[in-house]
Structure 1
Amino acid sequence: MTHTNLHSEASNSQNISMKAPNLLLFGNPLLDVTVKVSDDELLKKYNLDRNGQAEVSLDKLTNIFNDARARYRTFKYSLGGSSLNSARILATLGQRNLLFFGAIGNDQNGKVVREILKRSGVNSCLQELNTRTGTCVCLYQGSDRSLIANIGAALKCEKSHIEANISKFETDVEYYYIEGFFIPEKMDICRYLYNKYSQNLNTLLITNLNAPYIVKNFQKDITWLVKKADIVFGNRDEFEELASINGLASMDDLIADLLGGYTKTHRQKVIIITDGSNPVLCYEGNVNGIETNIIEVPKVKHDKIIDTTGAGDSFVSGFLYALMKGSDMRQCIELGCKISSIVIQTIGCNLPKNINVEELS
């Protein structure tokens, strides 16, 4: 049994009329548990990368969390999931003309997700399933973070849920954002969104590679989505993995393949590659040629970097905020970099409530 709530977090009502959104985001909503660690004992015990991402069984995740809580005692609950992180930062920036789609469980963690969503001001359309809400434990130490997740209910979001609710807004939506983590078991939704709302239409389909293991483990699906998308985000490691699984010898070959195969003639496809504190590379093009831009990243002193967990998701938020305001690609990337540079100086993917985005633009 499932049910759906179309929920505006600016209201206490569960089913209300709301302003038609301009941006729809699709992702895996998670309850994040952030733990500050002071050594590598847990990482060694559970064979975890100091700065990596992994999906594990519920039993293993529970053991990791119980060990972390007993050893380090201090932890914090927050909302997680790539698209949802981006939606939250957008809301903090003042852009609430959006709607997040995903699935949670009919459990206590699901209630916590709803409560935090309510406070964050993010409009959501959540399918509620009789299973466990997705959870992610983040072990952070300095600027490194190890993310260990069990996707739970988020993995089971159904196409029927999307179809039944998206039709209420379809004529007003300009942007569709699908996180790479959304691909497993939900490619029917990705194909539906492309076929009905992107192919041959003047809308933007945007995606994110999100993690090398997603690229490696879902080669066919991620390649399909990346080739169909109008804008693609990812870091250097993720794009290098994409090149490798497709048998391409270099990043240049990958860019040429992705942009040269873009079939829309009224716009250019955009590839954006981040690389930590190194410059962002932006490639724009189609069958008629490729343009490359290099954008410097604001420098943040190492001792100011607290948690890089939300660096990529907050970069996307700044980019989308500027894009929805009509900014050009360079301006979008510059704002993305500025927002990300602020977020990495806090715990989790969060912005100060009093931030003035106009001063940053």
Structure 2
Amino acid sequence: MDTGEPKAKKIKLEKKKISQNALFGMGNPLLDICAVVDKDFLDKYTLKPNDQILAEDKHKAMFEEIVKKFAVEYRAGGATQNSMKVAQWMIQKPSKVATFFGCIGEDRFGEILKEKAQEAHVDAHYYEQSEEPTGTCAACITGDNRSLVANLAAANCYKKDKHLDLEENWKLVKKAKVYYIAGINLSVPVFPTQHASEPVKPLAQNHVLLKGQQQAVRLGAANVLLCERNYDLSYGTANECSGPASPKLQNNTLHLKSPCGVGEDGWLSLMGLPHGFFLTVSPESILKVAKHASENNKIFGINLSAPFICQAFKDSLLKVMPYVDVLFGNETEAATFAREQGFETEDIVEIAMKTQSLPKVNKKRQRIVVFTQGKECTVMTKGDKVETFPVLQIEESEIVDTNGAGDAFVGGFLSELVQDKPLEQCIRAGHYAANVIIRHVGCTLPEKPDFH
């Protein structure tokens, strides 16, 4: 039966044996809890049908209630863990090629997360602590709509000295040949009041208000995400946002006065997020792994993860960058990184080349830079050149959920990289995995891949 999954061109290649724990990932794990719910449940927790938000105090009880009231499906989630899942799925055998470190709570959800990671054949070793519960993300489905509520909790509590430094865990790190670290890939659109004739498209973490973001950091929020109807809005409000009368912080929402006429009286509502990226959770852990990879001529990769990482945590990012062999990001993250580095260009090919040329500790490996652009061509540096690769075509009607596309691309790419395959094949594998993921809700996968 035709499943509608993309068919990849079959290429006959010599099969190389790959060892367990060859691929290592470290990040923020979440247990995804998916259920079909009713309108009363959404109303009780003041959720919109297509919300994507971080849990507030009023939402904390919903994670237990959704399990008691509805039939739920559990999945291991979080950006890096998703990438490890996809990589392991692409590789298939042996199991446990992919290793994952992160922090969970000593609770029932933590036990379920361990089971789900095991079902995905990922060798997950979690730091378990009792101060915070296991991070969760509830997907509340009503009809064709899906409301996401994430409670990061324990995901933000990883401790290097209590987990990474332990001999039995560090042995697993040393077994790996490829390393990858990212943040939580959580899009959180916040809908401003809008005129009926001006529909607003949620752009979430891909488009940020630069000056407003800096204000949010000063006011105690680590990030600002927004919905906007115009790409250039990101550059149009800098002066207004820096004015002393502009910012208002209410209920963890940063309100900024916009001169662009969006909403009543030109006010645009932007959400401030707490820390949710591993670079902000345990930078010392990242550096330890990065230095090990560099000193042993192994491959260390990171993801820019979100535009605000390139700004609010610029110093932490630059401390890691000299050790980076493979850098992933999307076009918006690349543009933000370029501005912060003073590259003085908006051309993504030039940005890729300039990023590749940044100082690097391990001179034996030239840095590889990979920038995805949604449905547009993926850009990758190779040697002293930049190559572009078209993505696999897909009918709009077949796209179900694009949230996991970035994680899946990285997972596909790494599944070939860890087997020493050519970079062109790594890109093809990334495109294939992303194409599969966007046909399903969440980071869910068929039983086996059809990629050769």
Task: Give the TM bin, normalised by the shorter chain.
Answer: 0.7 to 0.9
Return the offset for 1:123: 0.9
Match of 2:358 in 1: 261
1:90 aligns with 2:87: yes
Encode CA deviations 1:263-311: one digit per residue, 9 max, x unaligned. Answer: 33322111111111111011235xxxx3101001011111111111211
Gaps of 5+ in 2: 1-18, 184-276
Task: Give the Cα–Cα distance (whole angstroms) in 2 for the partners of residues 292 and 127 of structure 1.
Answer: 40
What is the one-letter code of the residue matched to 1:158?
K
Pick the aligned partner of 1:322 from 416, 423, 427: 416
Match of 1:198 in 2: 293
Do the aligned partners of residues 170 and 190 (structure 1) sit closer, same or farther apart at CA in structure 2, a change above 3 Å counting? Answer: closer
Pick the aligned partner of 1:219 from 283, 301, 314: 314
Percent identity reads 28
Local SS of the residue matching 2:305: coil
1:339 aligns with 2:341: no
Local SS of the residue matching 1:313: helix
Return the offset for 1:47: 9.9
What is the one-letter code of the residue matched to 1:30?
L
Return the offset for 1:80: 0.7
TM-score (norm 1): 0.79
Local SS of the residue matching 2:394: coil
Local SS of the residue matching 2:83: helix
Pick the aligned partner of 1:62 from 24, 45, 60: 60
Q: Do 2:182 and 2:302's aligned partners in 1 also have CA atoms closer than 8 Å?
A: yes
Match of 1:210 in 2: 305
Match of 1:81 in 2: 78
Match of 1:174 in 2: 177
What is the one-letter code of the residue matched to 2:282?
K
Task: Give the Cα–Cα distance (whole angstroms) in 2 for the partners of residues 86 and 201 of structure 1.
Answer: 24
Query: How many pairs were matched up?
Result: 330
Do the aligned partners of residues 317 and 228 (structure 1) sit closer, same or farther apart at CA in structure 2, a change above 3 Å counting? Answer: same
Match of 2:25 in 1: 25
Local SS of the residue matching 2:171: coil
Gaps of 5+ in 1: 1-18
Return the offset for 1:153: 1.2
Task: Give the Cα–Cα distance (whole angstroms) in 2 for the partners of residues 312 and 201 of structure 1.
Answer: 28
Task: Give the Cα–Cα distance (whole angstroms) in 2 for the partners of residues 172 and 139 of structure 1.
Answer: 39
Local SS of the residue matching 1:184: helix
Work out which of the two has the higher radius of gyration on C-alpha atoms and give 1 or 2.
2
Do the aligned partners of residues 277 and 128 (structure 1) sit closer, same or farther apart at CA in structure 2, a change above 3 Å counting? Answer: same
Do the aligned partners of residues 150 and 101 (structure 1) sit closer, same or farther apart at CA in structure 2, a change above 3 Å counting? Answer: same
Choose 264-273 or 337-346, whichever is displaced more.
264-273
Where do residues 134-153 of structure 1 align in structure 2 (5 Å cutoff)?
Answer: 134-138=135-139, 148-153=149-154
Encode CA deviations 1:39-78: one digit per residue, 9 max, x unaligned. Answer: 9xx79x97999697x6554x254378699999x9786432
Root-mean-square deviation (CA, aligned residues, Å) is 3.4
Match of 1:3 in 2: none
Q: Do 1:304 and 1:345's aligned partners in 2 also have CA atoms closer than 8 Å?
A: yes
Task: Give the Cα–Cα distance (whole angstroms) in 2 for the partners of residues 169 and 249 of structure 1.
Answer: 42
Pick the aligned partner of 1:184 from 280, 284, 291: 280
Q: Do 2:88 and 2:415's aligned partners in 1 also have CA atoms closer than 8 Å?
A: no
Q: Do 1:144 and 1:307's aligned partners in 2 also have CA atoms closer than 8 Å?
A: no
Local SS of the residue matching 1:327: coil
Task: Give the Cα–Cα distance (whole angstroms) in 1 for the partners of residues 391 and 398 of structure 2.
Answer: 15
Return the offset for 1:90: 2.2
What is the one-letter code of the residue matched to 1:241?
T
What is the one-letter code of the residue matched to 1:318?
G
Task: Give the Cα–Cα distance (whole angstroms) in 2 for the partners of residues 175 and 32 of structure 1.
Answer: 26
Return the offset for 1:225: 2.7
Do the aligned partners of residues 294 and 257 (structure 1) sit closer, same or farther apart at CA in structure 2, a change above 3 Å counting? Answer: closer
Local SS of the residue matching 1:183: helix
Where do residues 207-286 of structure 1 align in structure 2 (5 Å cutoff)?
Answer: 207-252=302-347, 254-263=351-360, 264-285=362-383
Q: Do 1:259 and 1:284's aligned partners in 2 also have CA atoms closer than 8 Å?
A: no
Match of 1:6 in 2: none
Where do residues 6-45 of structure 1 align in structure 2 (5 Å cutoff)?
Answer: 21-34=21-34
What is the one-letter code of the residue matched to 1:204?
I
Q: Do 2:51 and 2:149's aligned partners in 1 also have CA atoms closer than 8 Å?
A: no
Match of 1:353 in 2: 447
Q: Do 1:26 and 1:177's aligned partners in 2 also have CA atoms closer than 8 Å?
A: yes
What is the one-letter code of the residue matched to 2:178?
Y
Local SS of the residue matching 1:92: helix
Q: Do 2:352 and 2:371's aligned partners in 1 also have CA atoms closer than 8 Å?
A: no
Match of 1:132 in 2: 133
Task: Give the Cα–Cα distance (whole angstroms) in 2 for the partners of residues 36 and 214 of structure 1.
Answer: 34
Do the aligned partners of residues 354 and 278 (structure 1) sit closer, same or farther apart at CA in structure 2, a change above 3 Å counting? Answer: same
